[in-house]
Amino acid sequence: MTRDSATPEGRKDTGAGLRVVVVGATGNAGTSVVQALADDPQVGSILGIARRIPRWAPAKTTWAGVDIGQESGRDDDREDLLTRLFRGADAVVHLAWLFQPTHRPVTTWRTNVLGSLRVFRAVAAAGVPALVHASSVGAYSPGPKDSRVDESWPTHGWPEAAYCREKSYLERVLDGYEHEHPDIRVVRMRPGFLFKEAAATEQRRLFAGPFLPHRLIRPGLVPLVPDLPGLRFQALHTDDAAQAFRLAVTSTARGAYNLAASPVVDPELLAGLLDARVVRMPLKPVRAALAAGWYSHLLPASPQLFDAVLRLPVMDDSRARQELDWSPRWTADEAVSAFLAGLRKGSGMDTPTLARRLPHGGRLRELRTGVGEHP
């Protein structure tokens, strides 16, 4: 289950410095969080937990292969394993999440909700003093687009979208968890949409599918950007979000923190990046086309998630800036530009999640396994 010179608990014995466990360490957020922690002199060792152990070898890091949503085996055995891996850690950062298969919500529920519950219980059983959990803007109830909401805005999500439903459910779980475990410092990070160049290919697989001609996503070749009611959202470079997670680990912070960069992304901003025209469009036919693509397995992102995006509030990130002394280095348009550049290049990383192409077939494998089905 472990690799490199790991102790029986899966950690290198590096002596002084914080011991941090990152669950879900090989994806878009995970790779950036591990790198941010590795660069921090206060951190002595990192245990990265993922379903599949990568070849990527950042400093101070060892790996353990654990599927927190695995169906086979006794649930107690997996929880005991996580408890052993967490024992002696100063903090656990929980990032593991399945966006696919969108057509099988029971599968995502097993990892995203039941797997998270195993992580939370193991943190308490191992006596870890800090839990940093990746929530999301998607946990928020529908809200305004022309003003900003702080962390007190209701987190009931958009119930029709599995992603929002699961993020919201875990917010309620953590409400009770904090009451039951007042000795554990719980931090809930609520970032906007996270982009970086190395994650572009993975995000194309998750949300656009195998039919997107990524090399054509360049200025001048995309003719128009639709102007739809509610199409305003917040973006953040993943490396900037990772710095906020690092600060949460190394400080005494607790509670919820909104994370976002300026400006708010809207059709005009996207059109400027793509040298395209903004065209006002009615919502119903666009939504119907997306739904037809999803139900026919041509698109992996569900129409319910599209509905949620149009309803997400715009967040106020003042608390993170003031209490964590955090500020993003990348603007929102720079984060989106990095993603677009990654799409054109087919960028990735040497982890199974961020691989430039799936093994044994690439895009053909996406088709064979079913668009919107491959986890």
Name the residue type at position 261. Answer: A
Nearest residue to 63 via CA among 348, 350, 347: 350
CA atoms within 13 A on the CB side of 119: 34
Tell me the β-bridge partners of 255. Answer: 187
pTM score of the predicted model: 0.92
CB 116 within 8 A of CB 173: yes
What 278-284 contacts at long range (C-beta under 8 Å, 24+ apart), as own/partner pairs, is 278/224, 278/225, 278/227, 279/224, 279/225, 279/226, 279/227, 280/226, 280/227, 281/226, 281/227, 281/228, 283/228, 283/229, 283/310
Cα separation, 31 vs 236, in Å, equals 15
CA atoms within 13 A on the CB side of 115: 27
SS3 per residue for 116-162:
HHHHHHHHHHHCCCEEEEECCHHHCCCCCCCCEECCCCCCCCCCCCH
**Domain residues of the chain, as ranges?**
2-208+234-266+313-357
What does residue 82 show for φ and ψ, rounded to 5 degrees? -60, -40
pLDDT in 10s for each residue of the chain, 375 residues:
344 333 333 333 445 799 999 999 999 999 999 999 999 999 999 999 999 999 999 999 999 999 999 765 555 677 899 999 999 999 999 999 999 999 999 999 999 999 999 999 999 999 999 999 999 999 999 999 999 999 999 999 999 999 999 999 999 999 999 999 999 999 999 999 999 999 999 999 999 888 888 777 888 888 999 999 999 999 999 999 999 999 999 999 999 999 999 999 999 999 999 999 999 999 999 999 999 999 999 999 999 999 999 999 999 999 999 999 999 999 999 999 999 999 999 999 999 999 988 776 666 666 666 666 655
User: C-alpha distances in angstroms, 319 versus 126, 169, 233, 259, 323?
Assistant: 30, 23, 19, 9, 6
Taking every pair of Cα atoms in the chain, the longest distance, rounded to a whole number of angstroms, is 61
Cα separation, 191 vs 22, in Å, equals 17
Assigned architecture for domain 2-208+234-266+313-357: 3-Layer(aba) Sandwich (3.40)
Question: What is the DSSP-derived secondary structure letter of residue 5?
Answer: S
